[in-house]
Amino acid sequence: MNKQQEFKTYKITNNDITIELTNLGAIIKRIMVPHNNQEIDIVLGFDNEQDYLENDSTYFGAVIGRNANRIEDSIFNIEGTQFHVESNEENHNLHSGSSGFHTRKWDVVSHNEHSITFSLLSPHLDQGFPGELKMEVTYALTDDNAVEVTYKGRSDRLTVFNPTNHSYFNLNGHDSGDVLYHKLWLNSDKYSELNDESIPTGKRLNVTDTNMDFTKLRKISEDKTDEYDDNFILNSSDIHQKVATLIGDVTGIQMDVYTNSPCIQLYTGNGLGDVHGKNGTVYNKHAGVCLETQFEPNSVNSNHPPLIDGEQEYKTIYRFSGL
């Protein structure tokens, strides 16, 4: 059997929104929303699963695990034991390496009209991480047009658990060009200072009077040299407190984000170029924007690492309006 036949596509829906997902990487392939009496697709992606495997460095729509973002020098310590993971971005580890959860076939635990739950068993020393980890991710679509994403982990020993979803949003439609004129608000007064290799220095800088200030709703950028691949420290990790708003400048479609994770990585698709996506669309730089809820990059080497010992749960909600 070839790889293409191993994967299946699933749908969840309500009266307004239809979401298409696949058991490869627990990926969101499409989010179809109504606009001007037609449906538009507001996430970047590919038509078939083989394309996701062949373009795995885009991470379109995928669950990232065990650890989102970067690990400096691909090394970390837990309780005095040093662990080595793959160096897949120069000397560093990005999104857990080339065999991350985004490349795995997930099991489907349950599926109905409004929700689906995927599960994955990651054995001890998988990707270089200690401990057996069983992970579940549930996508649930509510009546008020919210997509609730719940990440549950259960481990048999102390290990790293810092998942996220890597969807690229374009609220004007996935095939509409760049997102730099989208409007963005973030509930964040501070961001991580990064070195030249995108690793935090340990300093947290104030956004005031910088191009990092999204405390008032504004265009992401009017200047294509203003690119973002930056970590913002959220003012609240209360799931009931809104942490971000994104608005399509053409459609007026609005996405509000809620999370109990401590940070958001803002990524404006700077690395995209000549990526052949859905329906013959070619995605270039800034074709989508990611709002990745997670811990600070390299936090596995900080005083507050994202560890799990037993059970842990994180949740992110994307609520759509203006449809």
Catalytic residue numbers?
A: 166, 292
- Local structure of 196: helix, strand or coil: coil
Integer Cα distance of 115 and 64 in angstroms: 20
Amino acid, single-letter form, for residue 203 = K
Q: Residue 258 in contact with residue 186, Cβ under 8 Å?
A: no
- DSSP annotation of 296 reads P
Integer Cα distance of 70 and 87 in angstroms: 10
Q: How many CA atoms lie within 13 A of 36 on its CB side?
A: 7
Q: How many CA atoms lie within 13 A of 60 on its CB side?
A: 30
Number of C-beta neighbours around residue 67 at 10 A: 32
Integer Cα distance of 70 and 92 in angstroms: 7
Q: Residue 128 in contact with residue 85, Cβ under 8 Å?
A: yes
Distances (CA, A) of 24 to 46, 198, 234: 12, 28, 30
Integer Cα distance of 84 and 123 in angstroms: 16
Q: Which backbone phi and psi does 52 adopt, to 5 degrees?
A: -65, -40
Residues in the chain: 323
Integer Cα distance of 317 and 312 in angstroms: 17
Q: What share of the chain is helix, strand, coil (3-state, %, to 5)?
A: 10, 45, 50
| Helix residue ranges, H only, the chain | 3-6, 49-54
